[in-house]
């Protein structure tokens, strides 16, 4: 067993086992919010890649209360648990922009989640332009009860790509949000997308270098999924997109990203799970086990590996 539990990178699973002495499961919740890119605050079309579920296709129903969502989500992972009665969970507010609502609503749902006895962490996915001083003060108070993580959708540092995907904020807004959260002692997880149209490998590694320069605790490396019902999907069906990334290229890119990122950064994801019923391309990404095994195998066989990470093939 090596320093990262036989992984070649500092995985979230390893980090949680170090902190809590066990595997901790994530429960996807829905706070019933929208997004400034959908409700007319910035735009009405959403980001070009985002499904109707607002990246929360696996989250619980917003028709349920937060305590009921937690119980329903627990049942979905029950089969994976060795000791369900003692399991611990992360309350993950995933769908849409989870600080884009009146403060009273945020206070209610986040407080309900964080006080649940089986919840050990509150993780909130949002945008850097939706963190007002009032919201930051609320997050600071919640973080005194149990750990609070903030997940920020950056995707890319490149202006042309940001405009193409309709991100809707400048890079300086992201940097300011990171600075404010860091001052409050709140861990920041950054979402990035690998394989955006017209971005080269060099472009994507520049994004990794930028993230490495900031006080960021964790990162999600997300392959671009082209989904039905999105504007990106429409461009793909009309033949207006360049060829999507191959599995081989993606594996090489992930390893290169990990070589750029600081060794202590917690890697929350190295691939992704697009809803298979909506997935147009790349179809190979629907086989998550294949993708993960391919990355692990490549770590063993890569001759030019820089040696930042411990190498031993995970069978």
pLDDT digits (tens, 9 = 90+) for 80-136: 887 877 899 999 999 899 999 999 999 999 999 999 999 999 999 999 999 999 999
What pLDDT does 51 receive? Answer: 81
Which token pair is 30?
């829905």
Number of domains in the chain: 1
Q: Report yes or no: 161 and 186 within 8 Å, Cβ to Cβ.
A: no
Q: Band the pLDDT of 62: cuts 50, 70, 90.
A: confident
Least confident of 45-54, 131-140, 224-233: 45-54
Considering the chain, what percentage of its residues have pLDDT values greater than 70?
A: 91
The two counts, helices (H) then strands (E), for the chain are: 10, 9
Least confident of 156-170, 174-188, 243-257: 243-257
The answer to whether residue 6 is domain-embedded is no
What pLDDT does 2 receive? Answer: 46
The answer to whether residue 288 is domain-embedded is no
**Nearby residues of 145 by Cβ (< 8 Å), 6 or more positions away:** 114, 115
The answer to whether residue 48 is domain-embedded is yes
**Nearby residues of 148 by Cβ (< 8 Å), 6 or more positions away:** 114, 121, 122, 123, 124, 139, 142, 186, 187
The answer to whether residue 2 is domain-embedded is no
The model's pLDDT over 243-282, given as tens digits with 9 standing for 90+, comes to: 789 999 999 999 999 999 999 999 999 988 778 899 999 9
Q: Band the pLDDT of 57: cuts 50, 70, 90.
A: low
Whether residue 58 has pLDDT greater than 80: no
The model's pLDDT over 65-74, given as tens digits with 9 standing for 90+, comes to: 999 999 999 9
More confidently predicted of 227 and 86: 227
- Find the mean pLDDT for residues 134-159: 98
Specify the length of the chain in residues: 315
- Find the mean pLDDT for residues 225-240: 94
Q: Report yes or no: 3 and 67 within 8 Å, Cβ to Cβ.
A: no
Q: How far apart (Å, rounded) are the C-alpha atoms in residues 209 and 230?
A: 30
- Confidence (pTM): 0.91
- The dihedrals phi and psi of 269, each to the nearest 5 degrees, come to -160, 140
Domain containing 49: what range? 12-283
CB atoms within 10 A of CB 231: 15
- Find the mean pLDDT for residues 213-221: 98
Whether residue 308 has pLDDT greater than 70: no
- Find the mean pLDDT for residues 224-233: 94
The answer to whether residue 304 is domain-embedded is no
- Find the mean pLDDT for residues 53-59: 56
Q: What is the CATH number of the domain that holds 216?
A: 3.20.20.70
The H or E element containing residue 155 is strand 148-155
Q: Are strands 279-281 and 226-227 parallel, antiparallel or unpaired?
A: antiparallel
The answer to whether residue 290 is domain-embedded is no
Q: Report yes or no: 181 and 230 within 8 Å, Cβ to Cβ.
A: no
CA-closest candidate to residue 133, choices 165, 180, 88: 180
The answer to whether residue 305 is domain-embedded is no
The answer to whether residue 307 is domain-embedded is no
């Amino acid at each position: 067993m090596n320093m990262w539990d036989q992984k070649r990178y500092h995985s979230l699973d390893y980090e949680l086992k170090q902190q809590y002495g066990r595997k901790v499961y994530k429960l996807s919740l829905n706070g019933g919010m929208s997004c400034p890119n959908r409700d007319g605050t910035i735009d009405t079309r959403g980001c070009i890649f985002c499904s109707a579920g607002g990246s929360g296709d696996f989250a619980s129903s917003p028709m349920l209360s937060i305590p009921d969502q937690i119980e329903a989500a627990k049942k979905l992972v029950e089969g994976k648990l060795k000791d369900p009665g003692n399991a611990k969970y992360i309350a993950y507010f995933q769908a849409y922009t989870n600080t884009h609502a009146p403060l009273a609503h945020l206070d209610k749902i986040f407080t309900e989640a964080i006080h649940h006895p089986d919840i050990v962490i509150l993780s909130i996915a949002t945008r850097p332009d939706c963190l007002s001083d009032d919201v930051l003060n609320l997050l600071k108070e919640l973080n005194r009860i149990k750990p609070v993580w903030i997940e920020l959708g950056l995707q890319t540092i490149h202006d042309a790509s940001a405009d193409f995907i309709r991100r809707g904020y400048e890079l300086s807004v992201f940097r300011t949000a990171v600075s404010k959260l860091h001052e409050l002692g709140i861990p920041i997880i950054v979402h990035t997308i690998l394989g955006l149209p017209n971005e080269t490998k060099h472009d994507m590694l520049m994004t990794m270098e930028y993230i490495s320069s900031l006080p960021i605790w964790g990162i999600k490396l997300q392959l671009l999924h082209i989904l039905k019902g999105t504007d990106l999907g429409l461009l793909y069906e009309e033949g207006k997109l360049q060829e999507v990334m191959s599995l081989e290229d993606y594996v090489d890119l992930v390893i290169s990203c990990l070589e750029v990122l600081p060794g202590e950064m917690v890697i929350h994801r190295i691939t992704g799970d697009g809803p298979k019923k909506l997935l147009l391309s790349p179809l190979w990404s629907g086989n998550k086990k294949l993708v993960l095994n391919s990355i692990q195998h490549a770590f063993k066989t890569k001759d030019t590996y820089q040696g930042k990470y411990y190498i031993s093939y995970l069978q």
